[in-house]
A and B are shown apart, each in its own frame.
Chain A
Amino acid sequence: MELTACKELETKVIQENLCTLCGACTGMCPYFVAYKGRIVVRDTCTISRGRCHTFCPRLSVDFNDVHKAIFGTSYGWDGVGNVLEVYIARSSDKAIRSRGQYGGVVTALMSFALKGGFIDSAVLTRSQGDGLPEGALAATRKEMLLRAGSSYIAAPTIGAFNSAAQSGNKGKMGVVGTPCQVLALANMRAAPSDMQDNVKQLGLTIGLFCTWALSSEEFIRFLEKKAPLSAIKKVDIPPPPAHMFEIYTASGRISVPLDEIRRFIRPACTYCTDMTAEFADISVGAAEGIEGWNTVLVRSEKGAELLRKAKRKKVLEIDTMPAQNLEHLKEASLLKKKRGLKNIIQKTGNADDLLYLKADTKSVKEFLDG
């Protein structure tokens, strides 16, 4: 008997520890809700193929199909995904830089997209404060600044996009998300037309580089022991070889060895193959060895246009990326792909069964062997 969408997500994703808490299944119906770092199935839905089922980035994804739908080309395992331009950049605005992560490019770009009419509001992740991180809608630059910076904690941000679209929020929305969240949005864009109600309002996707995210409830409890949550201004994991988790408070910096943090990594993240949010319009991360700057990968025409205008309006300071940096980024990206695939194969015990990845297993084998 065919499982209902609801049961399938519950048994194959949630119970199998594949759920990334992206939030794509929430905000659309009463059945799925995010609560304290978990997706909870409140009641049983009997629909066999609902939107939850189609949007989930961990149930069944064919990268090739999605890539064709978004970029018009086939997916290649080798590299950092579809890239039109590569830069290092930082915000020209000191206020943004001080609040944002590294160069504050994400906040600066979203803020500019809002001002320049690319989007009418943005879905961001409220990162610091007393509670758990959660998706939130920002319609002004001020609201965006309040949500700048990373928390490294998994958050159901796409649920906030869904509920904003469902509840009649008008106009286009920009979304800032981790690779799994960006993949969920890509799934929406590649979905059949009768499931495109929400994604019609997606105006821009900015992806964040991500090696893994932390489990919220447990990690928050850990963090609380280090500093009062309300006092934490910013957290950071500087690029290797620092190997530290830095907590910035008004009274100074607390450094925690990264190995102490690792136990809070969501198990789902070990089965992820995407470090650079390959299905975004623009992907942004740290710039290795260049403090206060971001790496920027422009992936789509829309992303290129935004960046061009941002550059012209002097919203961003942009520079070329050192060739060595790009090599390192590719290495890191490939490392995550290989690690993710190996973990998947180890879980299934079968190189032909890649869990949620519906891929040409021959090319995957070649990639892993190569």
Chain B
Amino acid sequence: MAKREEKTLGIDADKPGKTVLLMGVEAIARGALEAGVGVATAYPGTPSSELIDRLSKVAKKFNMYVEWSINEKVALEIAGAASLSGVRAITAMKQNGLSVALDFLSGLTYTGINKGLVLMVGDDAGALSSSNEQDSRHIARMLDLPLLEPATYQEAKDMAKWAFELSEKFSTVCILRSTTRILHGRGNVTLGELPDTKHHPYFDTSKIYAPPMGRASTSHAALHKNLEEIRRFHDASPFNAYVGPDNPGLLVITSGTGWLYSMEALKILAAEKEAGILKLGTTWPLPRNLLRKYLVQANKILFVEEVDAFLEAGIRDFAADLVSGRTWRFFGKSTGHINPFGELNPHIVIRAIADLLDMTYRPRGSAYQKACDEIASRYVPPRDLQFCAGCPHRATYWSLKDALRLDGRDGVVTGDIGCYSMGQSPAGYSQMKTAHAMGSGVGLASGLGKLKQFGFRQPVLTVCGDSTFFHASIPALINSVHNESDFILLLLDNSGTAMTGFQPHPGIDRNAAGDPAPRVDAEKLCKALGVPVTIVDPYEVTQTRDAFLIILQGGKGPHVVICKRECALIRATKEGALFKVRVNPDKCLGEQCGCNRYCTRVFGCPGIRWDRDTKKAEIDEAVCNGCGVCVHVCPLSAIDREACP
């Protein structure tokens, strides 16, 4: 066999002109390297987490500083400090994270920056891994910031590099916005030069980066002026392109994922001669001169964009002031041609274009879909989201459910964002009743705990992961101490930011580069606040339940229970299973009265499966992570475990 000549090239390959396969978010990381970025920061969040993950692996090679920050606001502040001191910096976050960073960002907009500062935001269109769907482009408009949207993997890299230049040229943060299919998809990227950047940070103390006291509105005016200059720059940007005939029967205006979907649609419909596509890469401020040039050539305009009708609203607004003699008809999300939420896909775009061009488009009918579903269901039954086998969160929720049912006062559990958000579903026995923002579970609990004066009698608990605790829960906990609120905070400490890929946080003894780092001890921190702390091992479900009950029925004031168990996946990869587990079929009662499939039907760990033929439970050895908790759950003591060496 021929020996492969070279390994797959990564984002650090010094091979200008070479074409490599990169994820969109990797392409952005490469673009930042080509721009000579010095500092990169983020708090993890799908689909943005890979930027720091990839850069942290090459940080030493490029003499960069890369960190996982405590939250997105601090991440932007760390990057901002570099920019103000003359070092190019990038920070990454998801749409929810941008809300966290917004307070600092709105201030930074007014003061301006020094060296290029790029804010990459990954919008989770369709909210596949998010608590909400949110179009971050509105933030650029709200804060008068330039906005770029890559439509291809190549553009992701090129735009990232260019974003630094734009940022420096106009002394402003540049927002680089993309969505999941670009960020997490892979495509060909032709590499550029890697500069040999030497950073010489210096904070010029002759300058003041603060909005003028009492005259901030003058700065706002200056921002608008700056924006007009950026608009002219955008008009000439090579990231905007038109493909199609003059005077098209239909003008498609698109950005991001919509570009390739629209190209595909025209190709499938063989409508390249009838319709043209204007792809915008610079989506705020809108390149008005460019838009005018193409708008005046068409009567029918279709907007294809992902999440909100951002271009649609902005361009219709602009067109209202245009004198062209044309009677435009605009189509898109407002007319139902394009889905007003969720991800785009080629089918949606093809159907919209076919309708507007009076063409026939016959996708496979519903019978075909039905047949596919039927075949698929034979192999893949519909399943709820589940915690992994051996997940300590399942064990914690199990004990929590038991404690609350025994307590019988209809205790309320608030929560927030993390793997443990599944506590709202059957995976966590539907115990978690709220999820809004990182840390908001503690804030809500702090508020519920103050309703006693109105006769509120339900016990109040909140769940919060270890990463979330540091991210945004601490202020709410301090608030509850000072204002004497009464609730129990279950700190679900699984030693990592598990949901986004085990990134470290301040409670972990290593940093983004994998080097040893001081660990902030949550227990000591809580105790220093005067909050009593109890530590339990979630795998010991009975002891954990009893500890919950004692605290529920005894305590006053905030009480922290640290439910400490490393994520089963981290442990399994590092050390393997704790126990070898097996079901004794002679003791297993199965569906009969007295059990009724308690382990597989109620406890629900995917490591145990139900054998329909033998009517017994059995361990799925390929899935079981060997936590041994099911031994405590089985009412018949039919599950045995043996400690692994």
B596 in the interface, Cβ–Cβ < 8 Å? yes
B402 contacts which chain A residues (CB < 8 A)?
42
Rounded to whole Å, the gap between the CB of A191 and the closest CB of chain B is 11
Is residue A3 contacting chain B, with contact meaning CB distance below 8 A?
A: no
- Is B520 in contact with chain A by the CB < 8 A criterion? no
Question: Could you tell me the distance between the alpha carbons of A42 and B407 in the complex, rounded to whole angstroms?
Answer: 11
Q: Please encode chain B, from 582 to 614, with 1 for each CB lying within 8 Å of some chain A CB and 0 for all others.
A: 000000000001111010011000000000000
Q: What residues on A are CB-neighbors of B406 within 8 Å?
A: 33, 35-36, 40, 42
Query: In whole Å, how far is A60's beta carbon from the nearest beta carbon of chain B?
Result: 17
A33 contacts across to B, CB distance below 8 A? 406
Residue pair B593, A51 in contact (C-beta under 8 Å):
yes
Contact of B594 among A29, A40, A42, A43 (CB under 8 A): A29
From B408, B593, B602, give the contact of A43 (CB < 8 A): B602
Kindly identify which residue among A30, A35, A36, A47 contacts B635, using a CB–CB cutoff of 8 Å. Answer: A30
A-B contact count (CB 8 A): 42
Asked if A46 contacts B596 (CB within 8 A), the reply is: yes
Q: Is the CB of A28 within 8 A of B405?
A: no
Give the shortest distance, in Å, between B630 (CB) and chain A (any CB).
12
Cβ A40 vs Cβ B405 within 8 A? yes
A42-B593 in contact (CB<8A): no
Chain B contacts for A166, CB-based, 8 A? 594
Is B408 touching A45 in the complex (CB atoms < 8 A)?
no
Q: For the complex formed, measure the closest distance between the CB of A5 and the CB atoms of chain B, giving whole angstroms.
A: 8
> What residue of chain A has the Cβ atom nearest to residue B601's Cβ?
A46
The answer to whether A28 and B408 touch across the interface, beta carbons within 8 angstroms, is no
Interface digits, A41-77 against B, CB 8 Å rule (1 contact, 0 not)?
1111111001100000000000000000000000000
Q: How far is the CA of A41 from the CA of B601 in the complex (A)?
A: 16
**Nearest opposing residue in chain A for B553, CB measure:** A36
Q: Which of B401, B408, B595 contacts A30 (CB 8 A)?
A: B595
CB nearest neighbor in B for A38: B408
User: Which residue of chain B has its CB nearest to the CB of A5?
Assistant: B593
CB-CB nearest in chain B for A28: B594
What 0/1 readout, one digit per residue, does chain B (375-401) give for beta carbons within 8 Å of chain A? 000000000000000000000000001
CA distance A35 to B552 in the complex (A): 15
Q: How far is the CB of A25 from chain B (nearest CB, A)?
A: 11
Cα–Cα distance between A29 and B595 once the two chains are bound (Å): 6
| Interchain CA distance A50-B595 in the complex, whole Å | 11
A96 to B289, CA, bound (A): 105
Nearest-neighbour CB distance to chain B for A162, whole angstroms, equals: 10
Compute how far the CA of A40 lies from the CA of B401 in the bound complex, rounded to whole angstroms: 12
Contacts of B602 in A (CB 8 A): 30, 43-44
Given contacts A29-B635, A30-B635, contact A45 B405 (CB under 8 A): no
Given contacts A47-B593, A51-B593, contact A30 B405 (CB under 8 A): no
A29-B408 in contact given A42-B402, A43-B598, A43-B602 (Cβ < 8 Å): no
Most buried by A among B408, B596, B598, B602: B596
Interface string of B24-44 (1 = CB under 8 A from A): 000000000000000000000
Residues of the B chain whose Cβ atoms lie less than 8 Å from the Cβ of A36 = 406
- Select from chain B the residue with minimum beta-carbon distance to A30: B635
CA distance A45 to B598 in the complex (A): 8
Query: Closest CB-CB distance, A220 to chain B, in whole Å?
Result: 14
A176 CB to nearest chain B CB (Å): 25
Set of chain B residues within 8 Å of A35, measured between Cβ atoms: 406, 408
Closest CB of chain B to A329's CB: distance in Å?
A: 38
Question: How close is B351's CB to chain A, nearest CB, in angstroms?
Answer: 41
Report Cα–Cα, A176/B1, bound state, in Å.
Answer: 84
Q: Do A42 and B596 touch (CB < 8 A)?
A: no
**Chain A residue contacts of B405, Cβ below 8 A:** 40-42
Q: How far is the CA of A20 from the CA of B401 in the complex (A)?
A: 25
In angstroms, Cα B404 to Cα A40, docked, is: 10
Closest chain B residue to A166 by CB distance? B594
A179 to B505 Cα, complex, angstroms: 61
Name the residue of chain A whose CB is nearest to the CB of B597: A46
Assembled-state Cα–Cα distance A47/B238 (Å): 68
Q: Which residue of B lies closest to A44 (CB)?
A: B602
| Closest partner residue, chain A, to B603 (CB atom) | A43
Contact with B along A15-29 (1 / 0, CB 8 A): 000000000000011
> Separation in Å of the B408 CB from the closest CB of chain A?
6
CB distance from A267 to the nearest CB of B (A): 16
Closest to A49 in B: B593
CA distance A267 to B429 in the complex (A): 31
CB-defined interface of B398-429 with A at 8 Å, one 1/0 digit per residue? 00011001101000000000000000000000
CA distance A29 to B602 in the complex (A): 13
Tell me, in angstroms, the Cα distance from A36 to B593 when the chains sit together: 25
State the Cβ distance, B597 to closest chain A Cβ, in Å: 9
Q: Which residues of A contact B633 (CB under 8 A)?
A: 30
B residues in contact with A38, CB < 8 Å: 408
Give complex CA distance A46, B402 in Å.
Answer: 18
Closest chain A residue to B594, Cβ basis: A29
Nearest Cβ on chain A to B428's Cβ, whole angstroms = 13
Nearest chain-B residue to A54 (Cβ)? B593
For A28, what are the chain B residues with a Cβ–Cβ distance below 8 Å? 593-594
Closest to A37 in B: B408
Question: In the complex, are the beta carbons of B408 and A50 less than 8 A apart?
Answer: no
Q: How far is the CA of A38 from the CA of B405 in the complex (A)?
A: 11
Which of B402, B594, B595 lies at the interface centre, i.e. has the most chain A CB atoms within 10 A of its CB?
Answer: B594
Cβ contacts under 8 Å, A44 to chain B: 602
Q: Which residues of A contact B593 (CB under 8 A)?
A: 28-29, 47, 50-51, 195
Cα of A31 to Cα of B595 in the assembled complex, Å: 8
Q: How far is A38 from B408 in the complex, measured between Cα atoms in Å? A: 9
Give the Cβ gap from A161 to chain B, nearest Cβ, in Å. Answer: 15
Q: How far is the CA of A29 from the CA of B596 in the complex (A)?
A: 9
Which A residue sits closest to B633, measured CB to CB?
A30
Q: How far is the CA of A33 from the CA of B635 in the complex (A)?
A: 12
Within 8 A of B (CB), among A213-272: none
Determine how close the nearest CB of chain B comes to the CB of A316; give it in whole angstroms. Answer: 39
Roughly how many angstroms separate A279 CA and B106 CA in the complex, as a whole number?
79
Q: Which residues of B contact A40 (CB under 8 A)?
A: 405-406, 408
A43 to B431, CA, bound (A): 12
Instruction: Please report the C-alpha to C-alpha distance between residue A47 and residue B405 in the assembled complex, in whole angstroms.
Output: 20
- Residues of chain B from 341 to 372 with CB closer than 8 A to chain A in the complex: none
Among A40, A43, A44, max chain B CB count under 10 A is at: A43
Q: Which of chain A's residues have a CB closer than 8 A to the CB of B635?
A: 29-30
In the assembled complex, the Cα of A166 lies from the Cα of B635 at a distance in Å of 11
User: Which residues of A from 333 to 362 have beta carbons under 8 Å from B?
Assistant: none
The closest CB in chain A to the CB of B402 belongs to A42
Contacts of A51 in B (CB 8 A): 593-594
Output the nearest chain B residue to A167 by Cβ-Cβ distance: B637
Chain A residues near B595: list those with CB within 8 A: 29-30
Please, how many angstroms separate the alpha-carbon atoms of A35 and B598 in the complex?
A: 20
Q: Name the residue of chain A whose CB is nearest to the CB of B406.
A: A35
Distance from A214 Cβ to chain B, minimum over Cβ atoms (Å): 18
Q: Give Cα distance in the complex from A66 to B598, angstroms.
A: 32
A112 to chain B, nearest CB (A): 34
CB A75 to nearest CB in B, in angstroms, measures 28
How long is the Cα–Cα vector from A129 to B401 in the complex, in angstroms?
30
Contact between chains at B408 and A47 (CB < 8 Å):
no
Question: How far is it, in angstroms, between the C-alpha of A33 and the C-alpha of B402 when the chains are bound?
Answer: 11
- Separation of A116 and B528 alpha carbons in the complex (Å): 66
Expressed in whole angstroms, the minimum distance between the Cβ of B592 and any Cβ of chain A is 8
Max chain B Cβ within 10 angstroms of own Cβ: one of A30, A40, A166: A30
Q: List 16 A-B contacts (CB under 8 A).
A: A29-B594, A29-B635, A38-B408, A41-B405, A42-B401, A42-B405, A43-B401, A43-B598, A44-B602, A45-B596, A46-B596, A46-B601, A50-B593, A50-B596, A51-B593, A195-B593
Interface residues of A (CB under 8 A from B): 28-31, 33, 35-36, 38, 40-47, 50-51, 166, 195
The 3 A-B residue pairs with the shortest CB-CB distance, nearest first, are A30-B635, A50-B593, A35-B406
Which residues does B use to contact A, with CB under 8 Å?
401-402, 405-406, 408, 593-596, 598, 601-602, 633, 635
| Additional A-B contact list (13), CB under 8 Å, known A29-B593, A36-B406, A50-B596 | A29-B594, A30-B595, A30-B635, A35-B408, A38-B408, A40-B405, A40-B408, A41-B405, A42-B401, A43-B401, A43-B602, A44-B602, A47-B596
